[in-house]
Homo-oligomer: A and B are copies of this chain.
Amino acid sequence: MKRGLSDACNLFFLTLSNPTRLAILELLRQRDMSVTEITTALDQEQSMISHNLTPLVRCGLVFVEQHWKERIYSLNHETMEPLFQIMSDHFDRYCAKKAGEINCTTTTKKLANI
């Protein structure tokens, strides 16, 4: 990562650090969806979904296409699948998972390598 991209990274990760947007990404991982479908699936306000879709599109994490009256959102699988994989690997290796709670035990290198 070259210098000067920090702002972009910041925005990228800021976009990802939101429960609603993460839920949208998980949904779109399964299949493309319209705003109404996402709204229904997540049982949230339509305006909230729209507001959260905006930064996802702006960062290129999801794409959007107009189909008749609907706007169909789709995941950027090329970026997101490897990202999901890294997350999964990281949590497996460095964080103890028990019953939904996250508890990183990596305070030292030695502990981390166990």
Contacts and interface: CB of A to CB of B under 8 A. Distances in A.
Copies in the complex: 2
A66 to B, nearest CB: 8
Secondary structure of the A contact surface, majority rule: helix
A102 B11 contact: yes
A64 B19 CA distance: 29
A82 B86 contact: yes
Contacts of A9: 16, 22, 87
What 8 pairs across the A-B complex have the smallest Cβ distances? Answer: A60-B94, A13-B17, A8-B102, A14-B17, A13-B16, A60-B106, A63-B109, A1-B84
Interface of A: 1-14, 16-19, 22-23, 26, 57-60, 63-65, 74, 76, 78-79, 82-84, 86-91, 93-95, 97, 100-102, 104, 106-109, 112
